[in-house]
Amino acid sequence: MTTSMVMASSHKIFLLFFFITFLLFPTTQAQTYIDHNCSSNKKFTANSAFQSDRTTLLSSLASNNATDFNSTTVVGRGDTVYGLFMCRGDVNLTTCHQCVVNATQRLPSDCPVSKEAIVWYDECLLRYSNRSFFSIVDTRPRLGRPNPYNVSNPASFMRTLYDIMNKTADEAAKPAVGEKKYASNARGEILPFRTVFCLAQCTPDLSPSDCRWCLSGTIGDLNLCCDGKEGATVLYPSCYVRYELYPFYLPEAPTPTPPSAIVPLPSSQGKALTYLLKL
C-alpha cells in the first residue's frame, strides 16, 4: 500500500467514526430540567435568617466550577443549612457548572419558603435541607420517568434488563466513600432483540453498600413506574438509574465503538419523555 492510500483509508475511517459519533451522541442543550420537590411541612418565614443562609449556600454551590460534586454547610443564626450538587458522571465541567447555576437560580422561585428542596435535571441534581443528609441514603422524594414507548416482549426484556442493571449498579457502587460512584454500559449491551444503554449513579458521600442499597431501590421501582417501557429513569435524592434503547450519555473514555454493536432503532430517540410518576 502506498502512503497516500493508507492516508485515504484512514481518512475514511476517521470520517466514518465522526459520522457514527454524530449519530449516536448528538449534542444536547446545556441542561434539561426534569422536576423539583419542595418540603411542604418544613417552611421558613420569608426574609428570615434561613432565607439569607440559603442564598449563601446556593451561591457557594454555584461558585464551584471545578468539580462534579460538592457539598457545603452554612452555619446560620438559627438552623444550619446543608446542600450539595452532583453532576451525571459523563458530563463535562462546563455543562456541569451551567446545570448547577441554573439549579441554584430556579430553586428559590420553585421553592420560595421550603427548608428542604431538590431539583433534578438530566445532567445534575441539587438539594438543600436544614437537616444533615450527608452520608445518608435518602430515598424520598422519588420520581419515575417512563419513556412512553413499549417493548414488544416485556417479560423477557425486563428480565434481561434487571440483570444488566444489577451489574451496572454493582459497578457504580464499588468506589470507596468520597469517590465518584457512576457506571454506564457505554457501548450498550445487546439483548436478543435490541441494544440497551444503562447508567447508575450515587452521590459520592455514600458508602459502597449504602449506594448499592439505594440503587436496588431504584431498580425495584422500575417495575412500578415503567414495566415494559423502552426506557425509564428512577430518581431518588441519593441515587438514580436510567436505561434507554439509544445512547443518552457520552462514553466515559472516547473509545471508538464498533458500528455493528450499536444500531439504535430510532422509534423513541429524541422524543420528549412526556410524563412523570410519583412513586
Ligand X SMILES: *[C@@H]1O[C@H](CO)[C@@H](O)[C@H](O)[C@H]1NC(C)=O
One-letter amino acid at 33 equals Y
Rounded-to-integer distance, Cα 20 and Cα 30, Å: 22
* Helix (H) and strand (E) counts in the chain: 5, 12
Site string for ligand X, 96-115 (x = CB under 6 A): -x----x--x---------x
Residue nearest ligand X, CB atom distance: 141
C-alpha cell read off for 223 = 417495575
Does residue 268 touch ligand X according to CB under 6 A? no
DSSP 229: B
Rounded-to-integer distance, Cα 175 and Cα 164, Å: 19
Query: Which residue's CB is nearer to ligand X, number 17 or number 149?
Result: 149
Contact range with ligand X by CB under 6 A, out of 1-9, 27-35, 234-242, 254-262: 27-35
Q: What are phi and psi of 206, to 5 degrees?
A: -80, 155
CA-based end-to-end distance of the chain: 62
Rounded-to-integer distance, Cα 76 and Cα 117, Å: 18
Query: Which residue's CB is nearer to ligand X, number 5 or number 46?
Result: 46
* CB of residue 8 to ligand X, shortest distance in Å: 29
Neighbours of 95 (CB within 10 A): 20
Q: Which of residues 48, 51, 64, 135 is near ligand X by CB under 6 A?
A: 64
* CB of residue 278 to ligand X, shortest distance in Å: 6
Residues 135-154 that bind ligand X (CB under 6 A): 140-141, 148-150
Contact range with ligand X by CB under 6 A, out of 11-19, 86-94, 188-196, 240-248: 86-94
Does residue 93 touch ligand X according to CB under 6 A? yes
Burial class (CB in 10 A: 0-12, 13-18, 19+), 41: exposed
Q: Which of residues 9, 10, 59, 94 is near ligand X by CB under 6 A?
A: 94
Q: 51: closest CA among 141, 115, 138?
A: 115
Q: Can you give the binding site for ligand X, defined by CB under 6 A?
A: 27, 29, 31, 33, 37, 42, 63-65, 67, 70, 79, 92-95, 97, 102, 105, 115, 130-131, 140-141, 148-150, 162-163, 166, 216, 278
